[in-house]
Amino acid sequence: MQQLMGHLLAFLSVIISTLLIASRPGLAETIRLSVADWPPYYYKTNPADGEHAKIINQLFKQVGLEVEYVWYDDWKAAFNTAKAGRHHGTPSWRCNPERAKYFNFTLPIFNDPYVFFHLTDTPFHWNSYSQLKAWEPIGVTASYFYGEDFHQAVAQDRIYLHQVRIDVLMFRLLLRGRIQLALMTRDNGQSLMRRTLTQQQQAKITYHPTPVTYSISHILFSKQWPGYQKLVKSINQQIIQSKDLFPEEIQAIQQQWQGCK
């Protein structure tokens, strides 16, 4: 019963906030975004310090809104609760057609390279997806999207992927020889290594410099709340005006963006 009441209150909170924003755009409101710990982008221990969080906070502040991060143990849960309408949205997700069924997307605001981490004594080199079959199992994180080319190659060549709930588990699997490659963003992998591994363990792991893909990501807002089309438009206008927040490469991507298709 208590859990049901909690869900009901969260549901009503989102409705009330949506109506207020739709009717009074200038009113300072709090937007709830569901996230999980993902260093260096989001730190549960210091929510204001993550690289992605800083930019998001600044964008929302400039349109008169505050951000409340709702923390989950993994990104799959963060995504599903936002999809269900329990929160206003969830940030740092790539566009794909399936997600576009349930969410409105802002302009792209982040661009992070995904690379393969592997043991230093593993002679791993690659320049084609056709080479990856020889390096299975490959560690990936459940619910992550690594680009159409990668997923097509996995399906075509029947590459075995070992899915984990959170990124850091892949390093444990690497060190135990349970997987040969671990796919994650370069900055996230390096940050996790510094935070969770001993110096001896860190010395055993490296990454291949060739990106598998670039994670061009957005803030997602649930389509269950039509009033947030106005919010997306407001945030997008602020993104265009805030050139100081974004490097030239992401500004070029923003200019070419034609929506999530």
Mean pLDDT of 33-54: 95
Enumerate domains of the chain plus CATH numbers.
2-111+216-256 (3.40.190.10), 112-213 (3.40.190.10)
pLDDT(70) > 70: yes
> Model-level pTM?
0.81
Mean pLDDT of 123-134: 96
**Cβ atoms 138, 162 nearer than 8 A:** yes
Mean pLDDT of 116-143: 96
In DSSP notation, 197-211 reads S-HHHHTTEEE-SS-
Mean pLDDT of 77-82: 97
Euclidean distance between the first and the last CA atom of the chain, given in angstroms as a whole number: 41
Mean pLDDT of 82-101: 94
Quote the tokens at residue 56: 């998001």
Q: CA-CA distance, 179 to 191, in Å (whole number)?
A: 20
Residue 200: how many CB atoms within 10 A of its CB?
7
Helix (H) or strand (E) holding 93: strand 89-94
> Per DSSP, what are the bridge partners of residue 140?
163
Q: CA-CA distance, 88 to 92, in Å (whole number)?
A: 14
The radius of gyration of the chain's CA atoms, rounded to the nearest angstrom, is 19
Write out pLDDT tens, residues 166-217.
999 999 999 999 999 999 999 999 999 999 999 999 999 999 999 999 999 9
Residue of 182 and 258 predicted with greater confidence? 182
